[in-house]
A = this chain, B = another copy of it.
Amino acid sequence: MKSENTGGTILREKREATAGFDPEAIMADFPILTRKIGSNKLVYLDNAATTQKPTSVIEALNSYYRVMNANVHRGLHTLAEESTAAFEEARRKTALFIGGVKSEELIITRNATESINIVAASWGRKNIRRGDRIVLTEMEHHANLVPWIALSKETGAELAYIPIDSQGVLDLENIDSIITDNTKIVSLTQMSNVLGTINPVEEIGRIAHAAGAVFLVDGAQSAPHMPVNVKAMDADFYVFSAHKMLGPTGIGFLYGRENILNSMEPFLYGGEMIREVRYDYADWNILPWKFEAGTPNIAGAIGFSPALDYLNSLGMESIRDHEKKLTAYAIERLSEIKGIMIYGPKDIESRGGAVSFTHGEIHPHDLATFLDSRGIAIRAGHHCAQPLVKKLGLNATARASFYIYNTNSDIDDLAAGLAEAWRYFGHG
């Protein structure tokens, strides 16, 4: 617990949380939560994979196609103008959400994965050579591993990893021997999708910049769950996906510092990203469109607007607070159950709401299937982080992950299911 002199802050946060969070009202905004799985009500605890959508998002998609649908940017008719305005408004809102970056600096992509690939391909191919170093951490998602493994194979650059300790926290002790002078980029997740760990991105960013490296933060798990300020963390690149934060599928973002984006070659070529094309020549549009070729996911972007409104109306501080309470309760309840082993930090302040665990000898896949028969949706496997899961000495974990519509009662259901699984699979 915090020391007494921060009591004021805690009190204020508590009040906000109470003001913003009415679980009943929130659940009522998510139509899928009334769904039955067999004869059980759905308990959705797979939020790190993707979140559910509020009515306002579903309705925005609906109404986009019913009254406004048109291709953007090139059209002079009313529908095209309205679509373009709504599309660009979604960009502006998102730029504000991550700390007030410029709209020009925010590229609309398909997902966080593509965003990282743009950096690895366009920035990486130009700036990374044999003898250079790319620094990642041992807890990265494949999205922030495989593009760099491929780039290292192509260029001959070396990969180095910031290790994790036994708590699943980054061990910064030897950071100076990892982020070396030949390090060209440091790329890490702000929150682990397996361990829940929140990384000290400000600190690592300073070290990266001091070494002259570019700094990329993978916000796929953080942007949905806590206040994020890209300027405060001084990131050169920041990536995230709409579908993990109440938004539609097929929409992601790449924030990039203006001068760096300007120095990069485009990633995809085609309509919209050009200024002038001749049969033997092409030059590029200004930012952000230079990186947006072809017809974008217009409905997806427009449908993300009300998702941001929803998050803003609750307040990201309150959301973080709500999830801290849920996570603390989950760790408490799961720890009581015989056979359960939880991975990642136990300190609530330094972790988010993705809770990985194993349950004795029961294979996580069997656990997931078993819980599903009780209506409880969790994920099981390597969570697109094979090397990390191997490092933990495992082939797979089970993972429960929370969001704004989850309550302690969901965690009670999970705990009951896990206790029963223990008996079902013959350990009782």
Contacts and interface: CB of A to CB of B under 8 A. Distances in A.
Interface of A: 31-32, 35, 37-38, 42, 44, 46, 49-50, 52-53, 57-58, 61-62, 65-71, 74-80, 110-114, 116-117, 120, 138, 141-143, 145-147, 149-150, 159, 161, 241, 243, 248-252, 266, 268-274, 276-282, 293-300, 365, 368-369, 371-372, 376-381, 383-384, 386-387, 390
7 contacts: A46-B71, A74-B379, A76-B368, A77-B368, A78-B372, A143-B293, A277-B386
Contacts of A75: 46, 49, 377, 379
B80 A377 contact: yes
B58 A269 contact: no
Contacts of A149: 269, 277, 280-282
Contacts of A378: 77
B293 A46 contact: no
A69 to B, nearest CB: 6
Contacts of A58: 61-62, 65-66
Contact of A117 (B112, B269, B386): B269
Q: Quick one: copies of this chain in the complex?
A: 2
Given A147-B269, A149-B269, A138 B296 contact: no
A274 B146 contact: yes
A187 to B, nearest CB: 13
Given A32-B69, A69-B52, A372 B46 contact: no
Nearest to A143: B270
Nearest to A118: B268
